[in-house]
Amino acid sequence: MATVDIPEEGTFLDTFKASFVTVPVDAENGNAISTTEFLDAAESLVTMFDVLGSVAFKPVKNDMLGNVQKIRTRQLAAPLESENLQDLVRNELATKSHKATEGLVWLVRGLEFTCIALTQNLEKSDEELSDSFRGAYGLTLKPHHSFLVKPIFSAAMSACPYRKDFYAKLGPNKEKVDSELQEYLAALEKIVAILKEFLTTPEAKY
């Protein structure tokens, strides 16, 4: 994995290009989520899999980045209709296409998987990452994966580093790492919940 320079007294989250903590959510416009900032934050989150270290996580990472690219391609093709994710979906489906919408469905599943795994691991100080990720996989991605894909992702879960090694890579100050990660995951959880609810509505069906 490529080494990342963490700022002195900082955490790995400080190296992110964008954070879900600062993704604009327009509460007065149906909780519209700004597309550009969301995609930048998703790309930043994926670098977390590099910290997990194992090549087994490469399929997980590539899957999420591929879905980011599907959404971004639609955004670039119709920028004025894609300023927020909800409008991007509505306007794409109106064209009888659903490539970006499908990409968002899968990206949200991947984000939820990561969010649940890390949140559970933070809350259970005696639980190893492999157990947290395996539990999160069963709740999020596994029900939607084919019998061919499941073993690939299961291998990644088993290849997680020990928790003490993982958190050490996130920064020298464990309390600060935990605090920033909790804030970050709370913001991600909120955004995932908004998108999951929207994607179950009739206007998001394809």
Q: Coil, helix or strand for 33?
A: strand
The pair of three-digit structure tokens given for residue 70, joined into one six-digit string: 């599907």
Q: What angle do CA 92, 93, 95 make, to 5 degrees?
A: 70
The phi, psi pair for 34, rounded to 5°, reads: -60, 125
pLDDT for 5-37, tens place per residue?
Answer: 787 778 999 999 999 999 999 999 999 999 999
Burial of 107 per CB tally in 10 Å (0-12, 13-18, 19+): buried
Straight-line distance from the first to the last Cα atom of the chain, in angstroms, rounded to the nearest whole number:
38
pLDDT for 70-115, tens place per residue?
Answer: 999 999 999 999 999 999 999 999 999 999 999 999 999 999 999 9
The pair of three-digit structure tokens given for residue 177, joined into one six-digit string: 């790492």
CB 107 within 8 A of CB 52: no
Burial of 69 per CB tally in 10 Å (0-12, 13-18, 19+): middle
Q: Coil, helix or strand for 25?
A: strand
Helices (H), 95-162: 99-123, 129-139, 150-158
More confident residue, 59 or 186: 186
